[in-house]
Chain A
Amino acid sequence: MSVQPTLTGAREPALEVRGVTKSFGAISVLRGVDLTLRQGEVLGLVGDNGAGKSTLVKILCGFNQQDKGDVFVGGERVRFHSVEAARAHGIETVYQDLALIPQLPVYQNLFLGHELTRLGPLRILDKRAMRKLSRQYLDEINVYVPSVEAEAEQLSGGQRQAIAVARAVRAATKILLLDEPLAAMGARESRLIIDLVKDLAASGRMSIIVIDHNYAHLFELCDRINVLQGGRITIDQPVRETSLEVLTELMVSSYRRQLEDVPGLDV
C-alpha cells in the first residue's frame, strides 16, 4: 500500500458528500449518504446490488442530480448540472455500461468529450493527432487493441473495458470514479488496470472511488472501504485495520440492525 493510513487520516478531503438523498419515483435509493474521500486516497465502495452505488456515482459525476444534500470538491460546495460541469472540476468516471460508442473507432472513443480540434469554431477533428496520442497512451499503459482504428464493437469485452478506463484515467486531473471497472476482464487485463490505478494513487495527485464486488481487488487497491446499505454509508473501515472476516461480520450485524428497525419482522 502506497499510503499510510495514519497519513491518510491527516489529509484534506478531496470530495465530501453530506446528507445526499435521491429518489426515483416512489423508490428512495439514497437516504442521506455521508462520505469523505481524502486527497490521494483510494476508497472502496461496496454494497448489495441495488444499494445505490451507481446512483451515488452518477450524482458525483453530474449525470444525475441529488434531491437533497451537499457535495463539496476541495472544500467548495458544488452542484453539477451536467457531466461537463463535473469534468471542469477534474472529475472523470468509468461507468458500469462503459459509455463507449460501438460505431466509433477506439481513438475517437478515447477522446470522446475531449476531442482535439482545429480551425477554431469549425471544430474540425484533428484525427491524426488523436490517433497518434491514442497509440502512445495505450502503449504506455500496456493496453492492447488490434488497432486504434478498430471500431469499439470489434473489441473484446475486456478490451472495451480497458478503453473506458483509459479514457477516464487520461482525462482525470483530481477525482476518478470507477464503477465496476474490472467486471468483464480477464486476469491479465484486471492486473493491468489494478496496477494503473495503484500507480495513479501512488502519485498522490488523484483521489479515487472504486466500486467492485471482488474483495481481493478492493483490499489490494483501497485505503478505506465504505459500505452502502439501505441508502446510507453504514461502515467506514481503513483497510489496514480490518480484514474480510471483520468487514463481513460488521456488514451482517449492520444488516440485522436494519431489519430490527422494520416493524413486524422478527429476526
Chain B
Amino acid sequence: MISSALLLALLVGVVYSFSSLASATKWLHHTDEVRVNIALLRATLLDAETGLRGYLITGGTDFLAPYERGRAEWRQQLGQVRQLTSDNPEQQARLHVLEHVVIDELGGFDAVRAERERERAGKDPAGVLRQHKVILDKVRAQLADMENEEVRLDHIRERDAARRWALTASVLIIGAVAFVAFTAFMTAQRRVAEMRRRHGDEERRFLQAVFAGIDDGITLLDRDGRLIFANAGAARMMGFPSAQALTANSGQAVTARFELRSEDGSPFPVENLPSRRVLAGAPSATALIRYRSGPSDRWRWSLVNATPVTDAAGAAIQAISVFRDVTADREAQDRQRFLLRAVDELTSSLDYEATLAAVARLAVPVLADWCAVDIVEDGELKRLATAHVDPDKVSSVTELARRYPPDPASRTGVHEIIRTGRPLLMPHIPEELLKRAAVDDEHLKLIEALELRSFVGVPLTIGGRVLGAISFVMAESHRFYGEDDLAFARALADRAALAIDNARLFREAERGRAAIAAQLSSEERRRIEAEDQARFAETFVGMLGHDLRNPLNAIKMTTHLLRKFAKAPNELTAVERVASSAQRMSNMVGQLLDLTRSRLAGGIQIERRPIDLCGVVSEVVDELRRAHPGRQITWNARAGIHAAVDRDRLAQVASNLVGNALEHGDPTRPVTVALAPSGDWVQLSVHNDGRPVPPDQLPFLFEPFRRTMIRGERSKGLGLGLYIAQQIITAHGGRIDASSTAEAGTTFTVAFPRDEAGAVAFPEQQLVS
C-alpha cells in the first residue's frame, strides 16, 4: 500500500518534471527561432541597403532588384517575428518602431521612391547615402535591441531549462533512491517477520515438545470457550486419540462428554470448574473432580489447577488448566479404607456362614459385579456364598453352579486355583474359553446371560493351607481387572481367610461342644463353655494384636522423632506422655500376642543362648530404679551366674515380677531381688512387704485375665503378666511359685535349669561379659 502510494507520487513528480523540462526546452527553441528571424531581417536589410547604395552610386537599375525583393522579404520576416514575439509586449513595441522607421522614413523599400531620391541627389549621392545610413543604423539598432532582448531571454530560459533539468534529475535520483530504500526496507521487514515467524514456530514446537513430555494434562481455554491448546496428556486423560482431536472441540463440548462429581459424590457444577472460575476473575482455582464418560466407564479422579492469562489491564483472557490424574492414589486410599472396613466386618462375627456371606457382600460392587466364595469341605469344593450387584441374578449364578458344577480337572477355574494355591488373573475373558467350557447349549446360554468379561480368582490360604477360593467377576459394569486389582483381591483374601478360619474353628468347637454336651454333666458343660469362651478371646486378641502393631509402631517411632524436635518442657512432657501410653499399649499388645501364642501356637517359643544372668537382672533393676526414683530396690549383684536361656524373655519375667512388687508392695519398704545358683538350676526370687494376696486367690494368680481379683486392686495391665511369665519359665523347663502372708510378705520364686539338658559347664573364659 505504502509502496504503491510512493510509486505514484514518484511518477507524478517525474511526469511533472518532464513536462516542465519540455516546456522550458520549447521556449529555448522559440528564442532561437526569433533570433534566426531577426538575423534574416538583418540580412534582408543589408541586401536592401547594398542594392540601394549600388543604385544610388551607379544608377544601374540592376541594383534595385534586391532592394525590391527586400521589401517582400522584410514584410514576411517582420510578420514572422511579430507572431513569434506576440507574448512579449516590449518586442512588439520595438517591432512597431521598426515598422514605423522602415515605412515612414525609408519608404518601405519602394523602388520609385529610390529613383526619386537618386534624382534628388543628382551627381552627389553621398548626402543621401549618409541620410540612409542614419536611418538604417536606427533600424539596426532596433534589431540589435530586439536581438539583445532575445539573448537575454535565451539566457534566462537556458538557466530555467538547466534548473528544470536539475529538478528532473533530482526527482529521478531521489525517487529512485527512495524507491530502492523503500523496497530494501520492505524486504528487510518481510525477512524479520519471516524470522520471527520461524522463531515463533520453533518456540511453539519447543513448548509443544515440553508439554508432550509431561504426564499431566495441560489445556488453554479462551473467553469464548475455544480450546486453543492441549497437550498429549490432556488428550489421554479425556479419551481423545491426539491433542489435535481434542482441540477440535470447544471446551464446553469436551465438558459435556463427562459426568462430573465432587469428592463427596454430589454432581460437580460446571461453573465451578477451575478454568471457568479463573475466567470469571479468580486469581487461581483448584478442584478435585471425579469423572467418567458414561455408566460403563470407570470413575477417574483428576486434581485440576487453573491460572489465568491476563491482558494489559489485568483481565483474564485465557485460562491455563493443569490436570493431574490422581486416580491411582485415590483408589489406593479407597482400597485401604475398604480393607479396614472389611476387617471390621469380618471380625464382627464368628458365625461361619455369616462370615462367608460378608466376604462376598463386601466385594460387590467395589471389587466385582459378582463374587463367589468356594470352600473345600471334606475334600469337596462347595460354593458357600454368592453376591451379585443385581440381586435378581444371584439365583442365576447359584443355579449355574448347581446344574453345571465346575470341572475339577479344569485348568482355568477355581479348581486350578485351589490345586496350585496361586491366584488367577484374566483381564479379558476370551469368548472362546466360555464356549469351550460350556457343556451344552443350555449351559452356554446361562453363561452368556451373566456377561462375564473379566476375572480374578484368589486362594484363601492360612499357614500354607488352602481353604478355598474367592472369585471376582466383572460383567455389567464393563470394568476390567489389572495387576493392582489382583494385589487388592489378595489382600482381601488374606484377611478373609483368617476370619473364615477363625469362624470355622469356632464352628468346629461349637459342633464338638454340641456333640459332647449331650453326654456331659452340667459341670463339665460349664467347663467346656468356659474353654470356648477362652478360645474366642484368644482368637480375637490374636487378630487384634496383629493389626494394632503397625499403628502402634508408627506412634512409637513418631514420639522418638518428636523428642528430637521438642524444645519447650511442656512439649517434651506431652511427647513423653504419648510415648509412655504407647509403651503401655505396646506391652499390652505384646501380652495379648504372647497369650495367643501360648494357647494356639503350642507355647511361647524361646531361643537359648549362653549369657550371664546377673547382667540381665541388673539391667532390669536399673531400668525400674530409673522409672521409680522414690522406691528402693535391694539387689546384690553377683557376676558369674551363667545359663543358656532366652535373654529377652528372661528379662521380661524379671521385669514383670519386680514391676508387680513395686506396684502392689508397701511403698515405704524395699523390694528385694535375689539370684542364686542351685546346682544345675538357678533361682530368682522377688520379695515385697505389704498387703498379702488373699489366700483364696493365690491358686489363680497365674491364670490369664485375673487382674481384677488380685488383692482387691485394679491393675493397670490386662492381668496377663504372671500368666506369660509362667509360660516363659515353663518353656525354659522351669517353674514359678508364689507365697504370700501378712507376716512374711509376698515372694515370687522362679527356678529353671541352666540349659536344655538341665546342666552344662561353660568354660570360664567365655563367660566374662
Partners in one complex: no
Residues of A within 8 A of B (CB): none
